Amino acid sequence: MEQTILTPATEQTAPKRVMLSGIKPSGDLTLGSYLGAIKNWKERSEQFDCYYFMADLHAITVRQNPADLRRRTLEQLAQYIACGLDPDKNTLFIQSHVPQHAELGWVLNCYAMFGELSRMTQFKDKSKKNADNINGGLFTYPCLMAADILLYQPDFVPVGEDQKQHVELARNIVQRFNGVYGEVFKMPEPYIPKVGARVMDLGNPESKMSKSDEAGNGVVYLMDKPEDIARKFKRAVTDSDVERCVRFDPETKPGVANLMSIYAACTGKDFAAVEAEFEGKGYGAFKPAVADAVIETLRPIREEAARILKDKAYLQTVYRQGAEKAGRIASRTLRKVYKKVGFVER
C-alpha cells in the first residue's frame, strides 16, 4: 500500500505542503518499489513537509510471522534512509506508533457502509488469495487507509489505478461525516503524481514486480547480493525474436521493454540511446549490462542500509522522533473528531 498526500501552499510564508506515503512491511522492498516511487521521494523534501511511514497495521490483514514483521519494519526504515530520505528533512515513523491512525480508523468504520466496503476490488482479490483467512480487518482496512489520509487534512491525494476506490471511499466518508457535524475534514481530490519507472516481474513481464511474490525468482530486492541480481537477470524473460534485437515495444516485446525501462531508469539514458547502444549486440550482451547497472544502483543503498541496521539506537531515535511529530499533527484532527461525535474529553 502506498499513499501520497499533498496540500498546496497558498503563500510564500505559508507552511510547506504536506506529503504522506506508506508502504506495508509485509515483504522486502524491491527494485520496483525504489525505481517506481522511493527514488523520487528524496527530491521532495525541500518543497514538501514529508511524512513516510511503515504501514504495519495494514500488514496484519494477512498473517505475518511476528519476528519477520519486526525485522522488515526496521529494515524498511533503514532502507528509506539509505535511499536518501534524511530524517532531519522527512518525518519517518511506524504506523502503529501513532495510535491516532487506529483510533480514527475505528470512528470511520462507523461512517462507512457495508455495501461500500463489500464492493472494494482489493478485498475481493485478497480474499481469493487468502481464502483461509478472510478476516474483518481485510474487509475494513479501507477505513484505516481513509484515516491515514484524513488525519493530515489533505487537499489532494495522488493515486494509482488500484487506489482510486480508496479515495472515493474517503470522499464518501468525508461527505457523510461533514454532512452531520460540519466542516471537520477537507474533501480530498484525486491527483496524478509524477511516477517513476514501472518495473515488471523478470519472469512474467505481464505482472508488476511484487514484494509479495513468495518465490521471488523474478523479483529483485534492494538488499539482494550482486551475484543474486546477476542470476535473476540472466534468467529474465525476453522474447522469441530471431534477431534478438533490443527495441522498446511493450506490446510485442514486453520482456525486453521491461529490461529497457530498468536500464534507462538506472543509467538516465532514454530508450533511443539504449537501442543505439545495443544495436546488433543481442540479449547476450544486453541482460548482463542491465544486471550491472542495477547492481551499481543498489550497491550504495544496500551497504548504507546494512550500516544503519547495526546502529539500533540511531534507528530508535529516528522512529521515536518521527512518531512524536506525526502524533502531534494527527492528534489535532482526532481531538476535533472525538468532540464532534460526543466523546468526553480526555
Instruction: Residue 79: name the closest of 264, 276, 308 by CA.
Output: 308
Q: Answer yes or no: do 178 and 89 share one domain.
A: yes
pLDDT, position 11: 43
- Which residues of the chain form beta strands (DSSP E)? 17-23, 48-54, 90-94, 156-158, 189-191
208 annotated active-site: yes
Contact yes or no for 54/94 (Cβ under 8 A): yes
pLDDT, position 6: 52
Q: Answer yes or no: do 285 and 150 share one domain.
A: no
Q: Answer yes or no: do 264 and 327 share one domain.
A: no
Q: Answer yes or no: do 104 and 239 share one domain.
A: no
C-alpha cell at 323: 512518531
Residue 49 within any structural domain of the chain: yes
Which stretches of the chain drop beneath a pLDDT of 70? 1-14, 158-162, 191-196, 211-216, 242-243
**Which is it for strands 17-23 and 90-94: parallel, antiparallel or unpaired?**
unpaired
Instruction: Residue 303: name the closest of 144, 79, 70 by CA.
Output: 79
For cell 460526543, name the residue: 342
Cross-strand bridge partners of residue 30: 221
- CA atoms within 13 A of residue 222's CA, in its CB half-sphere: 29
Q: Count the domains in the chain.
A: 2
CATH of the domain at 142: 3.40.50.620
Residue 125 within any structural domain of the chain: yes
Q: Answer yes or no: do 293 and 320 share one domain.
A: no
Q: Answer yes or no: do 149 and 184 share one domain.
A: yes
287 annotated active-site: no
Q: Answer yes or no: do 116 and 144 share one domain.
A: yes
Q: How many Cβ atoms sit within 10 Å of the Cβ of residue 295?
A: 20
Sign of CA dihedral 216, 220, 221, 223: positive
Integer Cα distance of 254 and 201 in angstroms: 11
Integer Cα distance of 249 and 230 in angstroms: 24
Sign of CA dihedral 26, 27, 28, 34: negative
Torsion of CA 255, 261, 263, 268, to 10 degrees: 170
Q: Answer yes or no: do 173 and 65 share one domain.
A: yes
Residue 218 within any structural domain of the chain: no
Q: Which of 24, 39, 126, 253 is catalytic?
A: 126
pLDDT, position 226: 96
pLDDT, position 14: 63
Residue 114 within any structural domain of the chain: yes
Q: Which of 24, 39, 211, 253 is catalytic?
A: 211
pLDDT digit string, tens, across residues 27-56: 889 999 898 888 888 778 887 888 899 999
Q: Answer yes or no: do 243 and 160 share one domain.
A: no
Residue 206 within any structural domain of the chain: no
42 annotated active-site: no
C-alpha cell at 46: 525541500
Beta-sheet strand order (sheet of 90-94): 17-23, 48-54, 90-94
Residue 200 is classified by DSSP as: B
Q: Answer yes or no: do 23 and 157 share one domain.
A: yes
Q: Which of 42, 89, 186, 208 is catalytic?
A: 208
Q: pTM to 2 decimals?
A: 0.86
Integer Cα distance of 84 and 39 in angstroms: 8
Integer Cα distance of 45 and 83 in angstroms: 13
pLDDT, position 188: 83
Residue 269 within any structural domain of the chain: yes
Residue 129 is classified by DSSP as: H
For cell 492528534, name the residue: 331
Residue 53 within any structural domain of the chain: yes
For cell 491525494, name the residue: 157
Dihedrals phi, psi of 7, to nearest 5 degrees: -125, 120
Q: Answer yes or no: do 70 and 179 share one domain.
A: yes
Q: Which domain holds residue 242?
A: 226-307
pLDDT, position 162: 64
Assign 3-class secondary structure to 36-91. Answer: HHHHHHHHHCCCEEEEEEECHHHHCCCCCCHHHHHHHHHHHHHHHHHCCCCCCCEE
Q: Answer yes or no: do 320 and 303 share one domain.
A: no
In the chain, which ranges are continuous DSSP H helix? 31-33, 39-41, 56-59, 66-82, 100-109, 114-118, 121-129, 136-150, 164-181, 226-234, 254-267, 271-277, 283-309, 312-341
C-alpha cell at 332: 489535532
pLDDT digit string, tens, across residues 178-236: 999 999 998 887 766 565 678 999 999 888 888 666 656 799 999 999 999 999 999 99
CATH of the domain at 294: 1.10.240.10
Residue 212 within any structural domain of the chain: no
pLDDT, position 10: 43
